[in-house]
Amino acid sequence: MDKNFLWGGALAAHQFEGGWNQDGKGPSVIDVMTAGAHGVPREITDTIEVDKFYPNHEAIDFYNRYKEDVALFAEMGLKCLRTSIAWSRIFPNGDEDTPNEAGLQFYDDLFDELLKNGIEPVITLSHFEMPLHLAKEYGGFRNRKVIDFFEKFAITCFERYKNKVKYWMTFNEINNQMDTNNPIFLWTNSGVSVAEGENAKEVMYQVAHNELVASAKAVIAGKKINSNFEIGCMVSHVPIYPYSCNPADIMAAEEAMHQRFFFADVHVRGYYPNYAMKEFEREGYNLDIRPEDLEILAKGTVDYVGLSYYMSTVVKADVNNDNLGNVVNGGLPNSVENPYIEISDWGWAIDPEGLRYGLNRLYDRYQIPLFIVENGFGAIDELTENNEVHDQNRIDYLMKHIEAIKTAIDYDGVEIMGYTPWGIIDLVSFTTGEMKKRYGMIYVDRDNEGNGSMNRYKKDSFDWYKKVIETNGKEL
């Protein structure tokens, strides 16, 4: 491993900060999402209803405890921390002329605390935290005005933190929303709900276009503010395997991968891939894509590809299942289980080799550095009477994935900037809103209903990961 390899941890503001209405923060799209469970979707309510439980409102209260938590991150030896800036802390409604100073100050204080502890902040601008007002009053990224609001938010952050943050990403897992069967993705990525009678895919491509332009505008503006910035995109990478060597299965996987690659193709290359242009034409989509947008896309290409990797999936050409809207099959009607791979309690395939495979495919395709900014094992943990957590299953998962990364670097020659496992401290699950789906190496005493002391306890994986960082990945 290169000596500058960025070992770290990953989080997102809405999943751990809490303080949802503190110091002038406005409600975001996630603040109207209730808790669900495995197989039970989260409800998106119209307003905040008093008799409903919204787990992200308090989350793990990092907003009020950040010093204590950063001290633990420092003890673990993290070289970087990936988190996001909650958009509605900075622009509570999203369309104000001036930002909320208290929100900006919070991130100044946090970044100072991190830097003082030798931890470099790696920042996502938009991780499912769009101000609710933009979703409700403007229709989210359906509306081109939101491109300007996002650009303004990005410039405000770039100007303010230009000497504290070098690594940025524009939109988290922007390609999730390709799965239009599950309303959570368009809502959290873009503040968009699809109305009855609308063609969801057509809506999605318009929203995607506006968001890709917004991202490119942010990259262009960021480079002017500090030419040393490294600005990446962020995609969820789920390799899709063909079920067999039947050419029909191979082509089914190839077509499904086009859908996965679409967003990164535009972010990295700066133009629409032909397979997408053909799809727009074939389906007769009426998209507002202007010549000046295409110039912006060409100029605002990213420096690196940030990616999350949790699982792989499989497609079989002659299957047509109706179990859509399920996170695990990625909205693919022809997805089937992989008989060679075990799954987690939440049905996510555990496939370290798939990470090496995915890194190779992405690197061959784009030839720019990759940054693995999410990977981890969501599982139930038991706190013992002595306040210990023996999470050997998590250690095994992470160990095997780090081995795959080492092979990708040393054997395959893939350029990888760093590795930030997801949920370095327990937090609220995105897809289910649960606390019991834990990813952290630090346990947080809080349950699905919001009860608990919020005390923090180190799990076995804490010391294990500390050693991994200390030895730069030699000792696993």
State the residues that interact with ligand BG6 by CB under 6 A: 12, 15, 172-173, 236, 308, 374, 378, 422, 429-432, 437
Helix (H, G, I), strand (E, B) or coil at 305: strand
Minimum distance from residue 291 beta carbon to ligand BG6 (Å): 33
Confirm whether 374 is a catalytic residue.
yes
How many angstroms from the chain centroid is the CA of residue 98?
27
Kindly tell me which of 38 and 466 has the beta carbon lying closer to ligand BG6.
38
Kindly tell me which of 161 and 346 has the beta carbon lying closer to ligand BG6.
346
Kindly tell me which of 160 and 437 has the beta carbon lying closer to ligand BG6.
437
CA nearest neighbour of 378 among 308, 330, 314, 315: 308
Kindly tell me which of 236 and 335 has the beta carbon lying closer to ligand BG6.
236
Measured distance CA(147)–CA(103) in Å, rounded: 21
Minimum distance from residue 390 beta carbon to ligand BG6 (Å): 21
Instruction: Determine the residue with CB nearest ligand BG6.
Output: 431
Kindly tell me which of 397 and 430 has the beta carbon lying closer to ligand BG6.
430
Instruction: Decide: 38 and 432 in contact? Cβ < 8 Å.
Output: yes
Q: Is the dihedral of CA 426, 427, 429, 435 positive or negative?
A: positive
Measured distance CA(20)–CA(64) in Å, rounded: 11
Helix (H, G, I), strand (E, B) or coil at 7: strand
Measured distance CA(301)–CA(250) in Å, rounded: 30
Position 121, amino acid: P
Measured distance CA(217)–CA(377) in Å, rounded: 35
Measured distance CA(25)–CA(318) in Å, rounded: 50
Kindly tell me which of 33 and 359 has the beta carbon lying closer to ligand BG6.
33
Instruction: Determine the straight-line distance between the first and last CA of the chain, rounded to whole angstroms.
Output: 13
Q: State how far the alpha carbon of 209 is from the alpha carbons of 166, 289, 294, in Å.
A: 26, 7, 10
* H or E segment and range at residue 295: helix 291-299
Rounded to 5 degrees, φ, ψ at 133 are -55, -40
Measured distance CA(7)–CA(472) in Å, rounded: 8
* H or E segment and range at residue 374: strand 370-374
Minimum distance from residue 359 beta carbon to ligand BG6 (Å): 18
Kindly tell me which of 143 and 335 has the beta carbon lying closer to ligand BG6.
335
Instruction: Decide: 313 and 349 in contact? Cβ < 8 Å.
Output: yes
- Exactly one of 374, 385, 403, 475 is catalytic; which is it? 374
55 Cβ contact partners less than 8 Å away, ≥ 6 residues apart:
34, 35, 428, 433, 434, 435, 448, 450
* H or E segment and range at residue 176: none
Measured distance CA(438)–CA(421) in Å, rounded: 12
Minimum distance from residue 127 beta carbon to ligand BG6 (Å): 6
Query: Residue 414 carries which DSSP code?
Result: -
Kindly tell me which of 12 and 417 has the beta carbon lying closer to ligand BG6.
12
Catalytic positions are 374
